[in-house]
Structures are given as structure tokens and as C-alpha cells.
Structure 1
Amino acid sequence: MALQWRVRLLGAAIIRAVPPYARMSDATRRRLNSRSGPRWVGEVLSGRPDPGASVAEVVIPGPAGGIPALTYRPVGVDGSLPLLVVLHGGGFVFGHRSMTAWLSSHLATRVGAVAVAPGYRLAPEFPFPTPGEDCYAVAAWAAEHAADLGADAGRLAVVGESAGATLAAVVTLLARERGGPDVCAQALAQGAFDLRPGAPMMIPQAAWPFGRAADAPDTVAAYLGTDGDPQDPLVSPQLADHAGLPPAFVLTADHDYLREDGERYAVALRAAGVPVEHLHLVDSPHGVLSFPGWCAAAVPALDRMAAFLRRELAVLP
């Protein structure tokens, strides 16, 4: 299927503006991760946050110090709300807590939930297992401090896009292994779930917008560092035992080099008895939820994800 011209134009501009990871200087990478520049530029690219959600900054105790995070809560809604941990993408080497402002704020209002969006540590300075351990620490803290957030620890979900979806899957595995927190649902948008050298995402077959597929081996190598093993289920969740994991919403798109990863993960979850809602988008690129002003499918996809989370996090009679 064909992409809209504006999506192709934006994708080409991003690819032109951002050099390949292997040729990128540390200074350039840090600048890209600093979120410097006028706020309106980010909003043009990534959408305006929902004005119906209040936002606050918080620092969460992590394995090696504070993890900065943003919290979103629907304005004027009282009571104990569901709790979402929303993890940004960026190939494990890029990203900032504010990258999910559109997604987190709109999920907060559509689901009627408190959303916590952390800025977890990134490779190559902090390779595996640091990003996943940071995200797990955030989920555990959010559950423990749910009452302070005006939320219900018994209605916790993890949400992620791209590398954030990978880490959301890792959080559910760690929560099961460590006996908590109790994760009730997982929403995984366009994640990478198999990081082995021969996996589909590591052998790009075409040029894709919004994600230089040829960068995958380099960013994965940075994420693995010296201790990461692609055969480890906490690196490649596709290889995990999926029994007993929470219900999942899996989002894939046709113009995405991670499409097959999402499809295979949905099949593996279903085979283990996990309830799965799989939404596949046509005429859509990687990172569709990060470019709502450009991708026509972003808002309908958000609505489907929100409906899934409302259903799974509803208070039972």
C-alpha cells in the first residue's frame, strides 16, 4: 500500500537531517536527546499534548539514582484512577521523557488514568540491562506510590512504542519473575522483540520511512554492550515463556521494518494463552503514534489502544 505524500516527505526530511547512527558523533546524539529548541517544533512533529491533562515533573528512585519522569492526569477527574507507565522509543540510544507527551496526555484523558512517562537511561553509556531495569523500577515505584498519584495500583498497565514497546514487554517479564508489581495489561506499539543477528529486523530488505532500518544492527550492538546476549529472553522477548503474561494490545504497520516482529510476538503470546488484540495499520510507517499530525491512522490507533486499556483496567463489579 502507498504512503501519503506528506508522510513520505517528512520521512525523507528526517532521514536527511539525522545521520546514520554509526557515523553520528556523541555530541550530535546528545543534542538530539536533549530536546533543545522551540517547543512548537516538537509539537508540529509529534502533536500537541491534550490540554485536558495536567502535567507534573517527578524524580523516581532508580537503581543508580533519580529517574526523571512526567506524570499526566485528566483535569477535574477525582477518585483513584488506573495507572499507566508509558515508555518512549528511540532504538535504545535516543529518546526523552517528553517524546510521549501526545500519547501519554491523550491516553490519560481517553482512558481516565494517571500516566507516568520516564526518561530511562540510554545506550551506549548505559547498555543492557540498564534501560529495562530503569523501566521496571519506575513501574514498581508507580505501583508502590499509586495512592500518592491518585491512582490504583491494582489497575496498572505498561505502554510502549518501538524500543519502548520492547522494554514494556521486558517489564511484564520482570514483574512476573519477581512477583510484582501486578501488571494487568500491556500495550505494545511497533516493538522489536527478537534481537538475534538473523532476526527479520536485523536483515532489512527495503528502505522505510521514520526509521533507518540499516541502523538496527548498530543500535542493537550499542544496546547489548558487552554483557547483552541476544538469546536472553530479557533482550529478545520473543524467546521468553509467555505463559501467565497480561493481556496485550499489539500494534503493527505495513511500512515498518518491525512489522514482522510485532506479528510474530502476537502469535507467540496467543499460543501461550495470552489474550491479544492485534491492530494492523495500512498506509502507515514506523512510529505512527509519534507523528499524529502527519499520519492519518495515529488518532484511530490511539482510540483503539485507549479502548483496550479501558476494558482491561475497568473496575470489576
Structure 2
Amino acid sequence: MALAALSLFTGVSNLTPRAVFTDPEATRLLLISRVPRTLAALLAGCALAVSGQIMQMLARNRFVEPMTAGAGQSAALGVLLATILLPGEPIWAKMGLAAGAALAGSAGLMALIRPLPPTQPLLVPLVALVYGGMIGAAVTFVAYQGDLLQYVEVWLTGELSGVLKGRYELLWLAGATAAATWVIADRVTLLALGDAAARGLGLNVTVVTAAGLAAISLSTALVVVTLGAIPFVGLVVPNLVARHTGDNLRAALPLTALTGAALVLAADIAARVIRQPFEIPVAAITGILGSMPFLLLLYRGRARV
């Protein structure tokens, strides 16, 4: 709540609580720019953090997250193909293609990592990073062929400076998707025990896995379409929350959503303040903040092995 209040009154244009009630232009600025931007940061952080936690449970590995493990790159590839092949289609059609591509990318990752030996936990993040890099290379190749390299670089860099009223509403669907995962939280927790154990407890592994992948894909695609790629939120937040809640996903998801929302909102506020009146992309802030914990997690994982 404190970060949200601070976000409403942080920016190049001077805005005070008093001016909101006395100046019509200040009220207009608040409603058209500051409130949508704050809500976009909260919804994106919530969706990315929850998607990361669901993916980690499905993969049975704490070192993966959708935005760097193929789902984000696949969503970008889907939107790029929609831009080239269906330039006149509405945004919901591009979002649908992006979600389908993200679903295919997530399913491909699961197929790759399931045969890996559980005694080598570091193989999963390494395979995920290579897999995401390969799809990212495909995005670059397609963009090069269509003379869209600069467009892709600008568009995929996650930032919130362009968020206005009417340009962020798709993120409400991402937030709703993240909230819906709470319904299957206990079943996803059982999946972490392994397919054989989950089936022995009466779980339909195929249906639950498909539901989890669908939630991951839709949330990731909506964030990529609306704001661009924001890395490491789905990696760092679930690991921090898991230290307090363990593997009880139903108990962890609300705290994960709240922490993810706070992280992205804090990063966005920092992005506005560090080089004012210019802005740093929020993806750069989360990349810096997220890379160090990621390396720490890898190092500690190696020490345990």
C-alpha cells in the first residue's frame, strides 16, 4: 500500500495529494497515467511471480522461471509472427497467438527436463537457459528477415513508461489467471512428489499439468504483449517465499503474489527516480536485482550436491 501511494505521486510531472482535489489537470494525470501504471506494475508482478512458482512446482526444480526458460521467448515469437502475418488483427488475436506459442514453448521445456536425472538439479536451469536462448535466437532471426530487429529490441524490453488508460487492461486477465491457480494449488503441490506418487494419490497428472501450463502460458503472454519481458521475478520471489511457507502451494500463492507485485512496483519506482527526468526500463532493474540471487541459488545448489 505504501509503494502504491508512492507510485501515484512519483514522476516527472509534479503531483501532490492536494493538487488532485484542486487542479483538474492533476486529476486527469492521476487517472490516465499514474493509476494505470501502478495497477499494471501490481498485476504484472503478481502474474509473473505466481507463474514462476507454478512452473517450479511442475518442473520440480527451484531454478527455472517462465520469462527466461522459453515461455517468454515463445510468447515473443508468437507476437512477432502475428505482427508479420496478421498485421491488421486486433490485440486479442495477437495475444491468443502469443499464448499458444508460450504454451508450446512451456510444453517443450517440460518434455526436455522430465528425463533429466533428479540427482543433478543444476542440469534443469542450464537446459532451460539454453532452450530459452535457442527460441530467442529464432525471434532474432525472424525479426531480421522482416527488418524488425529494432522494433523487437524496443518492444521486448520490459518497461512501463507507455502504460496509459486503455493500454494495460489485458493485465487484469493475467491477474485473474494467477488468482485462478489457487483453485488447483493443492493438486500442483502433489505433482511435486513425482508423477507416480501423484497418480497413486488419485491425481489426474495430465489434466493438472495441462492446467498449470495453460495458466503459465496465458499469464506470460499477456505480460509480454502489454509490457514486454520482465525477467527474474518468477525466479527470485517464489524462492524467497518458499523459505517461509515450504512446498504448501495454497499457503504460498497469496504471499507470492503480494511479494511479486511489490517487487515490480518498487523496481518501477526506482526506474523513474534513478535518472530523472529519464527512465530506466524496469526489466533492467529486475535483471540486476534478480541476477545476484539467481547466482547465489546456483552456488548453494552446487554446494549441496
**Fold match, TM over 0.5?**
no
Higher relative contact order (CA 8 A, sep 6+): 2
TM (normalized to structure 1)? 0.27
Higher strand share: 1
Higher helix share: 2
